Amino acid sequence: MAEPIIQVEDLYKSYGAVEAVRGVSFVVNEGEVFGLLGPNGAGKTSTVEILEGMRTPDRGTVRVCGLDPERSGSDFKQTIGAVLQSTALPDKLKVKEALDLFASFYRDRASTDGLLKRFQLEEKRDAFYKELSGGQKQRLALAMALVNNPKVVFLDEPTAGLDPQVRREIYDIIEELRREKKTVLLTTHYIEEAERLCDRVAIVDHGKIIKTGTPRELKQSSAGTTRIEVRLARPATEAALRGLDGVSDFRTMGDVYVLYASRAPQAIVSLVKHLEADNNELQTMEMYSPSLEDVFIELTGRRLRE
């Protein structure tokens, strides 16, 4: 069996008293789109920056393409491409000039004219960077990340802050990289992004990986569980709702009571009977099949974007 193209073992990184990464371990196979899914501050960016050779770990072992990012110098930089959380270029640098400049840093170079066409930037080739829209700037960042035909591409929150239409355009590009069997490691706090793009996902919270698997495997860990969200006319006690027939778990999210039901019909009947006996009323009720959001809530007790 081929050795993983990315290997991370027992990785730690602190900033003063803040432990950003606490014993993270995972592997990424060649040609895989692997996602680190978690809220802001979970340790995703610190992990990726160590993999890119931008930060030094406190301890742990990291290998990308068989190389140590910290010690392999130019050879390592030739093998990877990266899109950081924010890309800033000189305002009066033209799009084609930016691509040509980045291409000059590498031994193996993709056609910059080909990249302009691929990323729908041909009409902007002579435009200044400051004249580009947010989506165009992100497409240019992706083009620059691929200018050296990298074996591994790191994408740190590649669609953060973009409007839905531009986000879908970036999704199409990443799905194209997946079809080309390009190895991609991306970080995200968007549930739909992880479900749509990733072959496997590691759920990250407070600097630790809580669970890893394909999106389907992770959702199947909640298989048979229906999420029922209800609003009531008057507050109800946790003990009463948690003790309803068919309810396996319970959360409160603001004024919403969230019931996780292993037997949804029984849970609903039991809820209605309880409300009638308590002289309470059901205002709204919504039911959902398991999602990665549910997996995250079950594992951490909170929503991904809290």
Are residues 140 and 248 both part of a single domain? no
**Does residue 304 fall inside a structural domain?**
no
Asked if 288 contacts 227 with a C-beta cutoff of 8 angstroms, the reply is: yes
Q: Is the pLDDT of residue 1 over 70?
A: no
Helix (H, G, I), strand (E, B) or coil at 201: strand
The yes-or-no verdict on residue 257 having pLDDT over 70 is yes
- Give 294 or 62, the one with higher predicted confidence: 62
In which domain, by residue range, is 253 found? 224-289
Measured between alpha carbons, how far is 99 from 101 in angstroms, rounded to an integer? 5
Strands (E), 122-269: 152-156, 183-188, 200-205, 208-213, 226-232, 247-253, 256-261
d(CA 283, CA 154) in angstroms, rounded, equals 46
> Is this model's pTM higher than 0.95 or not?
no
With 70 as the cut, is the pLDDT of residue 56 above it?
Answer: yes
Instruction: Give the per-residue pLDDT at 223.
Output: 58
136 and 113 together in one domain: yes
Q: Which residues pair with 201 in a beta bridge?
A: 35, 213
For residues 72 and 167, membership in a common domain is answered with yes
Identify the pLDDT of residue 305.
59
Instruction: Kindly state the average pLDDT of the residues 196-208.
Output: 95
**CATH code, 176:** 3.40.50.300
Helix, strand and coil content of the chain, in percent to the nearest 5, comes to 35, 30, 35
Residues of the chain with pLDDT > 90, as a percent, come to 73
Q: What is the dihedral of CA 28, 303, 15, 160, to 10 degrees?
A: 70
**Do 26 and 8 touch, CB atoms closer than 8 A?**
yes
At residue 192, the pLDDT reads 87
Structure tokens at 75: 């050879």
Do the domain assignments include residue 1? no
Contact status, residue 187 vs residue 155, Cβ threshold 8 Å: yes
Residues 154 and 250 reside in one and the same domain: no
At 227, list the tokens. Answer: 């999420």
Residues 149 and 257 in one domain: no
Tell me the DSSP string of 15-52.
Answer: ETTEEEEEEEEEEE-TT-EEEEE--TTSSHHHHHHHHT
In a shared domain, residues 205 and 144:
yes
pLDDT tens sequence across 178-189: 999 999 999 998
For 79-122, the pLDDT digits (tens) are 999 998 888 899 999 999 999 999 999 999 999 999 999 999 99
Domains: count for the chain: 2
pLDDT for res 227: 86
Q: Which of 157, 189, 219 is the last residue of a domain?
A: 219
